[in-house]
Amino acid sequence: MGHGSSVPPAPPAAPGALRQRVAGLVREVVKFGAVGGAGVLVNLLVFNLVRHSTDLQVVRASIVATIVAIVFNYLGFRYFTYRDRDKSRRTKEMSLFLLFSVVGLVIENGVLFTATYGFGWDSPLQSNIFKFLGIGLGTLFRFWSYRSWVFRALPSRDAVARAESFLEHESPTAAPAPGRSR
């Protein structure tokens, strides 16, 4: 800010703030990985069960398995990984989750489709390898989109307190805080 500014400078970041953010991200990745890992198992188990017990083509069996895993993952993410996140807009959350899950489904099954119909790699082992590779690529997209758009973080208490302090300081009609004079 320039000279004569009445806005106080932002307080310096706490010494461990970066460490706390990294630790929080690590916890989030571990929780996402736990739910996602269980979802991968559900996806692969359903895929192989449907593929070997029905006459569905490989990509259709994969789509069925992906849909089952999407439902499983939503429950795990909402009630475990992101249980502390904003819950005020559940309809919007579910709509965005489904939208990004469908994009992930296309990524995941696009890899399998390309391997199966583009290259003719259709043995059970090849199908599982490309299904797993597709899950991995889809997971990278899903992690970014879910944490950025679906399960939005609530503002931290420190950020809220700084904003309230700033507004209190800047508001010409605000009553002075107890113990403070203007």
* Owner of token pair 């460490």: 19
Q: Which of the residues in the chain have pLDDT under 50?
A: 1-2, 5, 7, 182
- pLDDT of res. 171: 56
What confidence score (pLDDT) does residue 106 get? Answer: 97
Name the amino acid, one letter, at 1. Answer: M
What's the pLDDT tens digit per position in 158-170?
Answer: 655 666 666 676 6
Tell me, what's the pLDDT at 1?
A: 47
The pLDDT of residue 14 is 59
Give me the count of residues in the chain.
182
At 5 the pLDDT is 47
SS3 category, 98? helix
Task: Please tell me the distance from the alpha carbon of residue 39 to that of residue 173, in angstroms, as a whole number.
Answer: 54
For the segment 9-32, what is each residue's pLDDT rounded down to a tens digit?
Answer: 555 555 688 888 888 889 888 998
Q: How far is CA 168 from CA 5, 52, 107, 175, in A?
A: 16, 66, 49, 8
